[in-house]
Amino acid sequence: MPRSRLLEILGLIREAGDSTGGTTRLCEVCAEVVELTGAGIMLMSGDIPRGSVCSSDAVSTLIEDLQYTLGQGPCVEAYEQDRPVYEPDLRADGAARWATFTPPVVEAGVGAVFGFPLQVGTVRLGALNLYRDRPGPLTDAQHADALILAGVAARSVLAMQAKAPPGAIGPELEEGADLRFVVHQASGMVAAQIEVSVAEALIRLRAHAFANDRRLADVAADVVARRLRIE
């Protein structure tokens, strides 16, 4: 990557860190640098979404929440395949590569989405999601900037977590990120109750949420509070 451009982007993020907004400002800068409508950063581990570090606007929040609930979308695919994922026209006939994710985001005004894996060395952390409110591919410059931002975002997440004691969440992540601990807890409970793996339990939770048109986090909260039992 061009060192001058990397330093320029680092300078923009450093300036943003001096203002208010915390992790949200990180996503806002990502959208501003690439000149797209919005951005979000999702953390994943073992092919399981762990939550959202930040999102730049309400639509980005919806994109993150749908990917988390459904287990599909640009961030999930970019992480799983360890490569950038492009969908420049979600509204085109035959473009519904994510059958349950695409309709609600198109309804929300999304025209194109792009996912870039977050990786430091061999360690994969999640993915950067970028969206545009109209269809269209990335330019070469936008693509190059997105790759730089994905690397910077990965290192930013590690830096935030480095401030935490062992076994704890970094203060910046704990304050600004939406790390769905209740879902992790519910997955463990369901796994123990019906004697399946945690990954299978998460699939059961997602299926229940989708079938009942509910957010995964809300279903998980009911399981933890023992208001709901997943058979």
What's the rounded Cα separation, in Å, for the pair 4 and 10? 10
* Structure tokens that stand for 120 in this block: 């430091």
SS3 content of the chain, % helix, strand, coil (to 5): 50, 15, 30
Tell me whether residue 62 is in a domain.
yes
Alpha carbon 160 to chain centroid, angstroms: 17
Cross-strand pairs, 87: 113
Is residue 158 domain-shared with residue 220, that is, in the same domain?
no
In this structure, are residues 31 and 153 in contact, taking their beta carbons and an 8 Å threshold? no
- Give me the residue label for tokens 């990335």: 138
pLDDT band at 14 (very low <50, low <70, confident <90, very high): low
* Structure tokens that stand for 229 in this block: 């039992």
Is residue 77 domain-shared with residue 170, that is, in the same domain?
yes
Is residue 161 domain-shared with residue 192, that is, in the same domain?
no
Lowest mean pLDDT among 71-85, 158-172, 203-217: 158-172
Q: What is the identity of the amino acid at 223? A: V
Is residue 34 domain-shared with residue 138, that is, in the same domain?
yes
Per-residue pLDDT reduced to its tens digit, 88-132 = 999 886 666 898 899 999 999 999 999 999 988 888 889 999 999
> DSSP assignment, residue 228?
-
Is residue 185 domain-shared with residue 215, that is, in the same domain?
yes
Is residue 31 domain-shared with residue 133, that is, in the same domain?
yes
Tell me whether residue 116 is in a domain.
yes
Is residue 135 domain-shared with residue 186, that is, in the same domain?
no
pLDDT at position 49 is 63
Tell me whether residue 10 is in a domain.
yes
What's the rounded Cα separation, in Å, for the pair 125 and 116? 11
What residue numbers bound the domain in which 100 lies?
3-178
* Structure tokens that stand for 57 in this block: 């606007």
pLDDT at position 46 is 67
Q: Which of 90, 62, 75, 217 is nearest to 153 (CA)?
A: 75
Tell me whether residue 230 is in a domain.
no
Is residue 123 domain-shared with residue 46, that is, in the same domain?
yes
pLDDT at position 18 is 46
pTM, two decimals, is 0.77
pLDDT at position 38 is 95
Is residue 163 domain-shared with residue 185, that is, in the same domain?
no
Tell me whether residue 151 is in a domain.
yes
In this structure, are residues 29 and 168 in contact, taking their beta carbons and an 8 Å threshold? no
188-196 — which CB contacts under 8 Å span 24+ positions?
189/223, 189/224, 190/223, 190/230, 193/229, 193/230, 194/230, 194/231
What's the domain count of the chain?
A: 2
Tell me whether residue 142 is in a domain.
yes
**Where is pLDDT greater, at 165 or 147?**
147
Is residue 95 domain-shared with residue 132, that is, in the same domain?
yes
Tell me whether residue 229 is in a domain.
no
Is residue 105 domain-shared with residue 60, that is, in the same domain?
yes
208-214 — which CB contacts under 8 Å span 24+ positions?
209/69, 210/69, 210/70, 210/100
Distances (CA, A) of 175 to 2, 34, 137, 152, 216: 33, 26, 34, 20, 21
Helix or strand run (H / E) with residue 97: none
Tell me whether residue 129 is in a domain.
yes
Q: What is the identity of the amino acid at 51? A: G
